[in-house]
Amino acid sequence: MDGGYIVLTTIKEITNHVGKEVKLGGWLYNKRSSGKIQFLQLRDGSGFIQGVVVKNQVTPEVWEAAKSLTQESSLYIWGTVRKDERSPIGYELDVTNIKPIQIAIEYPIAKKKHGVDFLMDHRHLWIRSPRQHAILKIRAEIIKSVQQFLDDHGFTLVDPPILTPSSCEGTTNLFHTKYFDEDAYLTQSGQLYMEAAAMALGKVYSFGPTFRAEKSKTRRHLIEFWMIEPEMAFVEHDGNLEVQEQILSYVVQHVLEHCRPELKTLGRDLGRLEKVRAPFPRITYDEAVELLHKEGFEDFKWGEDFGSPHETKIAESFEKPVFITHYPTEIKAFYMKPDPDRPEVVLCADLIAPEGYGEIIGGSQRIDDPDLLAQRYKEHDLPLESYDWYMDLRKFGTVPHSGFGLGLERTVAWICGLDHVRETIPFPRMLNRLYP
């Protein structure tokens, strides 16, 4: 049966083998039977296909093998590829032979609805379902396209450390660990190291996991999440925003082009995504506050930070992602450059996704003046010795520079149209969730 003319292929590549006999390795996802025909829903990681077993066209052994298959049993299967208009992928497999590898007993994720906790406890199996498969495929395409864009635009990939001696985004949510006799923290952001790298390589980016011990249990917060952090020498506030809108437009259009079946599986409204093309609207923090006052948040005070309901309300006025710029200096990180015309606000922007998905990018122009940076160290009570090296970047050939962090999971949630970030990452780390 495994003779030379039969190719071991994947479901994704089945189009190349119409009319030919192929061999697939896969799992049984679902099964239907109508007396003399068994319909096997198969998956192999690359896709999903229906295999048709007709009783009087196979040997009794093959018929029995098909009958023995339970949900998530693993198998090799042989069959002839046939075009079929009714199939979601356009092809079916007329099965000629089956070799079960393992018969799975009582697969825990049945077709009935399960609660979130049950599914999260079985995340290692849950990721096999078509919906989770689609999300993970789209996540991978998003990563690929961001890197493609940056690599094609002169950025160099630089890897910052995960273990760090100091904080980047405030000390309240630092993950502490011992580093032999010293204290260390899991990185909250690679930014400070990317600033050093930008002074060496011009345009750089990092892509890696970041950690925040946030006690918040929201649908947008993870403890461990992945960020893409570009940093650019000689780029100022406006240029920083242009790069952000270009990257995001590129990513969304790439996903639309390469992930149609996955977006369809998720039932995503494509019309909303098709509108995501640069330039994006820009409003200042002041304008955003004014908008909130008009839209039912009369009590919001200048100087407060926006929460989820505020961001959602602001986003409702726009079809595309919207930049909110010039936040109050007081509520933003120590490294952000004040607006020279108005030092009570900084040259920063948060990019808010449409449809209530919240902030997906945070970025700013960085302070390049050593004296101002020294002042900020004092105001923010930062231990000078841990930040000596960062000050060196201002002492030795300082230049205007800017950068941003694109949160991968929130971007995936938005593009896939998901309610919660827990489905955007293979094995989420959240408050009360370290398993599996």
Sites of contact with ligand 4AD (CB under 6 A): 168-169, 189, 191, 212, 214, 221-222, 225, 227, 229, 359-363, 403-405, 407, 409-410, 421
Task: For the chain, give the longest Cα–Cα distance.
Answer: 86
We find the least distance from the C-beta atom of residue 281 to ligand 4AD, in angstroms, to be: 17
Least distance to ligand 4AD, CB of residue 250, Å? 17
For the CB of residue 248, give the shortest distance to ligand 4AD in the complex, in Å. Answer: 12
Nearest-approach distance from CB 196 to ligand 4AD, in angstroms: 13
CA 322 to each of CA 145, 300, 325: distance values in angstroms, whole numbers, following the listed order: 21, 20, 10
- In the complex with ligand 4AD, the residue whose CB is nearer, 268 or 410, is 410
**Minimum separation from the CB atom of position 49 to ligand 4AD (A):** 35
* H or E segment to which residue 152 belongs: helix 130-152
Whichever of 189 and 249 has its CB closer to ligand 4AD, that residue is: 189
**Least CB distance from residue 58 to ligand 4AD, whole Å?**
51
Structure tokens that stand for 422 in this block:
């827990």
Q: How many residues does the chain have?
A: 436
Ramachandran angles phi, psi of 207, nearest 5°:
-145, 110
Nearer Cβ to ligand 4AD (49/346): 346
Strands 21-33 and 7-8: parallel
Kindly give the interhelix angle for 130-152 and 237-258, rounded to the nearest 10 degrees.
140
- CB of 166 or CB of 265, closer to ligand 4AD: 166
Pick the closest to residue 192 from 221, 156, 229 (CA basis): 229
Alpha-carbon distance 263 to 246, whole Å? 22
50 versus 411: smaller Cβ distance to ligand 4AD: 411
Q: Please answer whether residues 40 and 51 qualify as being in contact, where contact means their C-beta atoms are separated by less than 8 angstroms.
A: yes
Q: What is the nearest approach in angstroms of ligand 4AD to the Cβ of residue 220?
A: 6
Distance of CA 234 to the CA centre of its chain: 29
Q: Give the C-alpha distances (Å, rounded to integers) separating 390 from 58, 193, 373, 394.
A: 71, 8, 10, 8
Q: Which CB atom, from 84 or from 236, has the smaller least distance to ligand 4AD?
A: 236
Q: Which helix (H) or strand (E) holds 175?
A: strand 175-179
Residue 59 or 216 having the CB closest to ligand 4AD:
216
Q: How far is the CB of 365 from ligand 4AD (least distance, A)?
A: 10
CA 168 to CA 73: how far, in whole Å? 48
Residue whose CB is less far from ligand 4AD, 262 or 359? 359
Structure tokens at 303: 């100087």
* Cα torsion through 309, 311, 314, 318, rounded to 10: -120
Nearer to ligand 4AD, 248 or 360 (CB): 360
| Residue with nearest beta carbon to ligand 4AD | 407
Q: Taking the complex as a whole, how short is the minimal distance between the CB of residue 180 and ligand 4AD, in angstroms?
A: 27
Pairing relationship of beta strands 322-325 and 282-284 according to DSSP bridges:
parallel
Q: Count other C-beta atoms under 10 Å from residue 147's C-beta.
A: 15
